[in-house]
Chain A
Amino acid sequence: MAVAKSSFKKNKQKSVVLPYFYLLPAFLVMGVITFYPLIYQVIISFTNFESKHLLLGLQSPELEFIGLKNYLDIFTAALPVENFNFFRVLEFNFWWALSNVILHVPAGVLIATLLNTEGLWFKKLYRAAYILPVVVPPLVVATVWTNIFDERYGAMNQLLTSIGTYLGNTAPVYIRWFEDVKPPIPGFLPGAPLTLAYYAMMIANFWLGWPFMSVVATGALQSIPKDLYEAASIDGATGAQQFWGITVPLLRPAMIPAAVYGFTLSFNLFNFVFFMTGGGPARSTELLVTFAYNLVRNLRWYGVAAAFAVIIFGVALVVFLITNRITRATQNYQEA
């Protein structure tokens, strides 16, 4: 996302207005569908908005402005909801997005590199098969993996049982992936203990996540000029030196925006998490968005949900601004 340098000096007077003209359609649409609802959310976040106010909206006579109460209730865990602690959810949400990207990006790059090997047999077949996870609807992915991790019928426990039998342990493995609240690795993430459900979700989302990164990395690999490698090998650079000295730096401009995009997507990965664990057990895998959905659909606390949506927006905006800075910083690095 390089900053464009306008070269239309001749049209300077015109281009004062023209860019806004080109942006008009986008901002008209977003004004109605994004900004207006966002402002509306901010307003009702200061009220006790409930189901009964839905008909008249802000014109409801008995709608009360209650100041920051909704926000304070969320931050101080004063909501009458079991097992809810905002800061734990927030910490988990960050860790969830981060740990996904940390796994998906290197895996995507390594697999793309593998498939870029010249002379590899069946390359086309592998390339075609490896992108299939991208097109399977998230709902189906979540359903399949929920089945795989099912305690009684699931493939994962069956697999572990057969491995156990092979090692001389005859007792069937019976891991309750989605119910066990005891973290398998105690103290791994202080403040937001990671339950088995988290690890199950990581495995499933790994399956879903790396192919996209691999697609991006493949495109970037193919655009690296081959003479660079020739020149390097003439200078006596080994394969390892070439990988770290040429491939990695030249992949960076493509992979960092992809990683930022992946982080934002994982951060708000509603569909997948909602269907796989629904935030359980004991809200240990709840994301901010799944909890917000819960507040609206099941509890129908629109005011609290609005405050929650505003908080999510604030958090996401901060993350976006920081990552945006990082992305740009890398491009300067490349140009330098």
Chain B
Amino acid sequence: MAVQNQTQKNIFIRFLNINTSGQTGGRNLPLWRQLLLQLLAIVILVSVMFPIMYIVTLSFSSSEKRPSQLQLIPKEISFIAYERVLDKPTGNPVTFIELLRNSFVLSMGVGVVALGIAVTAAYAFSRFKFKMREVMMILVFIPLLMPAVGLSTPLYLLLNQVQVKQCKDKTTAIQPFTTCEDGSKGKLKFNLRDSLLGVGIAMTASALPFAVWNLKGYLDTIPRELEEAAAIDGADSNQTFWQIVIPLAIPQLAVTFFLGFIGHWQEFVLTWLFLSQPKDYTLAMTLYNMTGQYANSVPWNRFAAMAVIVALPVAIVYVALQKNIVGGLTTGSVKG
């Protein structure tokens, strides 16, 4: 393989095409080329790490002021910002643990429900031929084309209609299905719009297109012979789906779930529009809350500490699962 490289004349062409095959063994990679590639990789590394180091450095600063000088390596290691964020994350009466729990419950719930719905839909698109198949696939992609921001008004009005009220005569009315018998308005106990459940329902739709697309691609690669064999053994379609397809798809389900989870973890537009009670706030909302209208009013070190706290868990899992994610994203499109 090393021979092929020597036949090239132009350094530029050589440079651009080194080892797209991944064939040349490590011992055969010439030192000058290794150094050149290392240089390139380091330049990219610096550009990637630059904004990240900026935030990390800020988070270890003890000053709330906006930094006037560029600093990429912490001069001081002060945990005061972290302490304050963990102790009292917002001006509202809500603890860090509650924020964390809300974020986790919301992302987890939306992720699991969306995955369950998406995998059956993906199975239908992957394995069956039926009328309106194309049209229905396009319909599934609509949430991608119509961001939740664009649908927020009707969603708000819709979810706002579902309210649980305590009537004067101590009975409970669930609007819009039942109303208080005495005609009184009653005391509001629960408003679907102003709850994590309601926001979760609203977020599920936008999670579907990616999940269906990603899972369908993978299901296409599962050999049909397995299902045919099961069918000969007398299994019906439902049994094949649950006992053969689902177990085989578990790695891909995990990847799809996690990629969705990141998105929900960072979501703050819908939560911000719908939720009004501090006890329902999420980490991402708190982060958004810290960025005011004017750059000078932002508590910079606390904002940075919060940013690190929000990003770190997903970053660790992402790096740990990297191989599965890389494989998972492309299986459908390449091998299929």
Q: Determine whether the beta carbon of A220 is less than 8 Å from that of B334.
A: yes
A18, A131, A140, A320 pick with most chain B CB within 10 angstroms: A140
Smallest Cβ-Cβ distance to A244: which chain B residue: B17
Q: Determine whether the beta carbon of A139 is less than 8 Å from that of B311.
A: no
| Residues on B with beta carbons closer than 8 Å to the beta carbon of A258 | 329, 333
Q: Determine whether the beta carbon of B138 is less than 8 Å from that of A324.
A: yes
Known: A26-B120, A138-B266, A243-B17. A216 touches B330 (CB 8 A): yes
Q: Report which of B17, B27, B241, B295 forms a contact with A150, defined as CB distance below 8 A.
A: B295
Smallest Cβ-Cβ distance to A206: which chain B residue: B47
Smallest Cβ-Cβ distance to B225: which chain A residue: A7
> What CA separation (Å) do A320 and B14 show in the bound complex?
38
Flag whether B11 is at the interface (Cβ < 8 A).
no
> What CA separation (Å) do A268 and B130 show in the bound complex?
32
Query: How many residues on chain B are close to A (CB under 8 Å)?
Result: 123
Flag whether A169 is at the interface (Cβ < 8 A).
no
Q: Determine whether the beta carbon of A289 is less than 8 Å from that of B147.
A: yes
Flag whether A222 is at the interface (Cβ < 8 A).
yes
Q: Determine whether the beta carbon of A38 is less than 8 Å from that of B140.
A: no
B37, B128, B220 pick with most chain A CB within 10 angstroms: B128
Q: Determine whether the beta carbon of B8 is less than 8 Å from that of A239.
A: yes
B129 to chain A, nearest CB (A): 4
Q: Determine whether the beta carbon of B146 is less than 8 Å from that of A313.
A: yes
Q: Determine whether the beta carbon of A239 is less than 8 Å from that of B18.
A: yes
Q: Determine whether the beta carbon of A239 is less than 8 Å from that of B220.
A: no
Q: Determine whether the beta carbon of B54 is less than 8 Å from that of A242.
A: no
Q: Report which of B19, B139, B145 forms a contact with A313, defined as CB distance below 8 A.
A: B145
Q: Determine whether the beta carbon of A4 is less than 8 Å from that of B125.
A: yes
Q: Determine whether the beta carbon of B326 is less than 8 Å from that of A15.
A: no
Interface string of B101-122 (1 = CB under 8 A from A): 0000000000000001110110
Q: Determine whether the beta carbon of B55 is less than 8 Å from that of A117.
A: no
Q: Determine whether the beta carbon of A1 is less than 8 Å from that of B213.
A: yes
| Residues on A with beta carbons closer than 8 Å to the beta carbon of B128 | 4, 6, 8, 15, 18-19, 22
Known: A8-B237, A37-B154. A134 touches B318 (CB 8 A): yes
| Residues on B with beta carbons closer than 8 Å to the beta carbon of A26 | 117-118, 120-121, 140, 208, 212
| Residues on B with beta carbons closer than 8 Å to the beta carbon of A229 | 21, 23
Flag whether B231 is at the interface (Cβ < 8 A).
yes
A2 to chain B, nearest CB (A): 6
Flag whether B250 is at the interface (Cβ < 8 A).
no
Interface residue ranges of B305-336 to A (CB < 8 Å): 307, 310-311, 314-315, 318-319, 322, 325-336
> What CA separation (Å) do A241 and B139 show in the bound complex?
42
> What CA separation (Å) do A20 and B81 show in the bound complex?
53
> What CA separation (Å) do A29 and B110 show in the bound complex?
12
Q: Report which of A25, A44, A137 forms a contact with B284, defined as CB distance below 8 A.
A: A137
Interface residue ranges of B14-55 to A (CB < 8 Å): 14, 16-29, 34, 37-38, 40-41, 44-45, 47-49, 51-52, 54-55
Known: A33-B202, A309-B150. A111 touches B44 (CB 8 A): yes
Secondary structure at the A interface, as helix, strand, loop or mixed, is helix
| Residues on B with beta carbons closer than 8 Å to the beta carbon of A137 | 266, 284, 287, 307, 310-311
Q: Report which of B67, B130, B268 forms a contact with A15, defined as CB distance below 8 A.
A: B130
> What CA separation (Å) do A155 and B50 show in the bound complex?
10
| Residues on A with beta carbons closer than 8 Å to the beta carbon of B5 | 239
Q: Determine whether the beta carbon of A118 is less than 8 Å from that of B22.
A: yes
Q: Report which of A41, A127, A220, A237 forms a contact with B153, defined as CB distance below 8 A.
A: A41
Q: Report which of A44, A114, A127, A270 forms a contact with B149, defined as CB distance below 8 A.
A: A270
Query: Can you list 7 contacts pairing A with B, beta carbon distance less than 8 Å?
Result: A33-B201, A113-B20, A131-B318, A136-B51, A257-B333, A261-B210, A296-B152
For the complex with contacts A219-B327, A220-B334, 15 further pairs of A-B residues with Cβ separation under 8 Å are A8-B128, A23-B136, A34-B146, A37-B153, A117-B18, A117-B29, A119-B27, A119-B28, A119-B29, A132-B52, A158-B70, A219-B326, A233-B4, A246-B21, A316-B146
Point out residues on A near B: beta carbons under 8 Å: 1-2, 4-8, 10-11, 14-16, 18-20, 22-23, 25-27, 29-30, 32-38, 40-41, 44, 54, 57, 110-111, 113-122, 126-141, 143-148, 150, 153, 155, 158, 207, 211, 215-216, 218-223, 226, 229-230, 233, 237-240, 242-243, 246-247, 250, 253-254, 257-258, 261, 264, 268, 270-271, 275, 289, 292-293, 296, 302, 305-306, 309, 312-313, 316-317, 319-321, 324
Point out residues on B near A: beta carbons under 8 Å: 1, 4-5, 7-8, 13-14, 16-29, 34, 37-38, 40-41, 44-45, 47-49, 51-52, 54-55, 66-70, 116-118, 120-121, 123-130, 133, 136, 138-147, 149-155, 157-158, 201-202, 204-205, 208, 210, 212-213, 216-217, 220, 224, 227-228, 231, 236-237, 241, 262, 266, 268-269, 284, 287-288, 291, 295, 298, 303, 307, 310-311, 314-315, 318-319, 322, 325-336
